[in-house]
Amino acid sequence: MCGIVGIYCFDKRRGVDREVFVRQVDALAHRGPDDGGAYFEPGVALGHRRLSIIDLGGGHQPMWDSEGRLGIVFNGEIYNYRELKKELEQEGHRFRTDSDTEVILNAYRQWGARCVDHFVGMFAFCVFDRQERTFFLARDRLGKKPLYFYKDDERLIFASELKAILMDPTVPRVMEPTAVVDYFAYNYVPGPQSILRDVQKLPAGHAMLVSPDRVVMQRYWDVDFSHVDRTKNLEQNATALIAHLEDAVRLRLRSDVPLGAFLSGGVDSSLVVALMARQLHEPVKTHTIGFDEAEYDERAYARETAALYETEHHEKIVSVDAAGIIDQLSWFYDEPFGDSSAVPTYYLSQATREKVTVALSGDGGDENFAGYRRYQFAMAEDRVRTHVPHFIRKNLIKPVADIYPKADFLPRYLRAKATLTNLAESHERAYFLSLTQKTYPRLLSPTFLTGVSEHDPFEHFQRHLAQCGTEDRLARLQYVDLKLYLCDDILVKVDRASMAHALEVRVPILDHHIVDRAARLPAKYKLDGQQTKVALKYAARRMLPRQILERKKMGFTIPLPEWFRGGLRARAEAAFFGQKGGYSGLLDTAGLRRMWYEHQLGISNHATVLWSTLMFEEWARRFMSGGDLAAGAVLPRGARPTRIQTEALPALRA
């Protein structure tokens, strides 16, 4: 895993500030402390920070092909690089290293832009063609690896993280108002827009060609829910699924450094560990964190799987440093990020990195196989909705929902207001409302809200629903979750938390072959009444005990409501109401104060929205207050400095 950055000037006579660019590269040193490289030629700069995983001695970047025509900076892993290398050698290509980076270079020489079709992995890379003077940028199918870019009339700057782009003081730091609204609705910023007006994210499954006269973006992959395979029964589907999972895990065990796994004790991470144990010749190194509060602690469940597969199990009790963790998250996440499970993910990554450099995780099972309880609620509500005429839902149920009291303290299925509200809406709009925060108008200033009155965060749902290619109710919700929640929340959370500690996390359940197979499953093999992840659990039944397969989903949660009344209280009050608070200038202090007191008195549980507001304010203080970001971009202890490439490249053929 690594960090990449580059600059393309549309006029090659424009110079690149080398000092600023090296600072941009070094801003990513936490992602790659083992090595750093930078290359310059007129109007172009390429930079790379390396975390050495494969071919420890031979993978220095920027890397060049034998002719000196193609150069590359690459973040990620191509798991099938050995198979591709053999195939490319048969086509006449020669290799000087055993790295997957060189495989990408020769794959681009062989197949051009369609090289991405051959890759099994997670990646964001740029290939520079010196002959044609083009950048070819690509991001993996599901967005496991990030890629931001800034473009103006004179240049394009790309980077793995937003902070690297902002190390250039000439890049404007102007918030995009609609992205602010989206953040407070979703608790993250949905792509392709970033929180900044002038910075975009390359969408997952897309590539971009940059040349002197144009920039062209094109989608090369999408998950297809339209071809459901109804020819196989549950047993046949489960057998095929296990075969794909075994292959996905096998490929992700390729590493020249110590390797382990995250283990929560849930179905997904336990299944990954079980498959690892089948293939490794030594005990799997498993890692779990816990909290003092029993209702948030999954260690007992993780121990069951660890004991069953005789893993080398490591546990760590998290004692949260409120001030420290907020400072760390606001720096490493670049954009405001309101998912509080970033906290345990950060600490889990920190603890895991003490033992290994690579960890496999169980992410993706819920999105692929309909594991979230919200799918149950959505489908149950839809069954009711089909029996109640729209006229009644609009004119009777909706008015009742509007006056019904809130009951946030109750479980989701007992909150009549939420259920009535959803029944009055369409299937997809109701699902959107169940996922998003509806209190942000109480938080944001009236002046700001007036300027964004025509923007509806539901537009992101509508955009993806228009592209999903199926009318199946469950599949449509899954498609949107893959495009939004998985890509811009879950995968962002894991990437930033793990890379903060130079830990590479691999996600076998999100192998695109498994995603494709899951999309072809009939709905009944994913969600059947109250049973979730039907095919996956059936496939795992010979490897995992019943108590793990049937245990209620817990989620990676933290005692946030209690923290806001305890260890986080002083920090939050200072950020919201103190003399140096309100950095963003966008909040309605009176509305926020009412919510704060309601939470402190136990009238309502506002922990989620308070956390997202706190992270927004801390991000604004760090990135928007006019401070010098370069002060935070110091090389981590032990990180090697970035080396400017001075070796002459071969002359290009005329």
Which pLDDT value is given to residue 539?
A: 96
pLDDT at 497 over 70: yes
Question: Could you tell me if 301 and 285 are in contact, meaning their C-beta atoms sit under 8 angstroms apart?
Answer: no
Q: How confident is the model at residue 553 (pLDDT cuts 50, 70, 90)?
A: confident
Q: What is the CATH architecture of 2-221? A: 4-Layer Sandwich (3.60)
Q: How confident is the model at residue 253 (pLDDT cuts 50, 70, 90)?
A: very high
CA angle (624 as vertex; 620, 625 as ends), nearest 5: 95
pLDDT at 552 over 90: no
DSSP structural state of residue 193: B
The stretch 417-440 carries a mean pLDDT of: 76
Lowest-pLDDT range of 40-44, 68-72, 416-420, 429-433: 416-420
Per-residue model confidence as pLDDT tens digits over 45-82: 999 999 888 777 777 899 999 899 999 999 999 999 99
Query: Beta-carbon neighbour count of residue 23 at 10 Å?
Result: 18
Q: How confident is the model at residue 647 (pLDDT cuts 50, 70, 90)?
A: confident
The stretch 382-387 carries a mean pLDDT of: 74
Per-residue model confidence as pLDDT tens digits over 303-354: 999 999 999 999 988 776 766 889 999 999 999 999 999 999 999 999 999 9
| Tokens linked to 328 | 């760390």
234-370+490-549 domain in CATH 1.10.620.20? no
Active site residue 126: no
Among candidates 226, 147, 227, 231, which has minimal Cα distance to 194? Answer: 147
The CB-side HSE value for 453 (13 A sphere, CA atoms) comes to 4
More confident residue, 426 or 279: 279
Query: Beta-carbon neighbour count of residue 434 at 10 Å?
Result: 17
Residue type, 537: K
| Tokens linked to 74 | 């690459």
Which pLDDT value is given to residue 406?
A: 57
Regarding pTM above 0.85, the answer is yes
Q: In a 3-state reduction of DSSP, which class is residue 88?
A: helix
The stretch 178-204 carries a mean pLDDT of: 98
pLDDT at 414 over 50: no
Pairing relationship of beta strands 214-219 and 199-201 according to DSSP bridges: unpaired
Q: Give the C-alpha separation, 562 to 204, whole Å.
A: 37
350 membership: H or E segment, kind and range: helix 342-353
Beta-carbon contacts of 330 under 8 Å, excluding residues fewer than 6 positions away, are: 615, 618, 619, 621, 622
Per-residue model confidence as pLDDT tens digits over 505-514: 999 999 999 9
Q: In a 3-state reduction of DSSP, which class is residue 338?
A: coil
pLDDT at 413 over 60: no
Question: Could you tell me if 609 and 439 are in contact, meaning their C-beta atoms sit under 8 angstroms apart?
Answer: yes
Residue type, 473: R
Number of DSSP helices (H) and strands (E) in the chain, helices first: 28, 20
Instruction: Give me the chain's average pLDDT, please.
Output: 91
Lowest-pLDDT range of 19-28, 84-93, 217-226, 628-637: 628-637
pLDDT at 297 over 50: yes
Residue type, 173: R
Per-residue model confidence as pLDDT tens digits over 475-486: 999 999 999 999
Among candidates 250, 258, 265, 260, which has minimal Cα distance to 511? Answer: 250
Which pLDDT value is given to residue 262?
A: 98
2, 9, 468, 487: which is the annotated catalytic residue? Answer: 2
The stretch 579-598 carries a mean pLDDT of: 85
Q: How confident is the model at residue 403 (pLDDT cuts 50, 70, 90)?
A: low
Q: How confident is the model at residue 439 (pLDDT cuts 50, 70, 90)?
A: confident
Among candidates 391, 393, 289, which has minimal Cα distance to 350? Answer: 289
Per-residue model confidence as pLDDT tens digits over 119-151: 999 999 999 999 999 999 999 999 999 999 999
Question: Could you tell me if 274 and 540 are in contact, meaning their C-beta atoms sit under 8 angstroms apart?
Answer: yes
Q: Give the C-alpha separation, 551 to 529, whole Å.
A: 16
Which pLDDT value is given to residue 418?
A: 60
| Tokens linked to 272 | 């990954």
Q: Give the C-alpha separation, 522 to 512, whole Å.
A: 18
Q: Where are the domains of the chain?
A: 2-221, 234-370+490-549, 373-441+452-479, 560-630
pLDDT at 493 over 80: yes
DSSP structural state of residue 444: B
Question: Could you tell me if 520 and 375 are in contact, meaning their C-beta atoms sit under 8 angstroms apart?
Answer: no
Q: Give the C-alpha separation, 43 to 156, whole Å.
A: 11
Which pLDDT value is given to residue 440?
A: 83
Instruction: Give the rounded percent of residues in the chain with a pLDDT score beyond 90.
Output: 73
Q: Give the C-alpha separation, 234 to 72, whole Å.
A: 44
Among candidates 185, 409, 407, which has minimal Cα distance to 419? Answer: 407
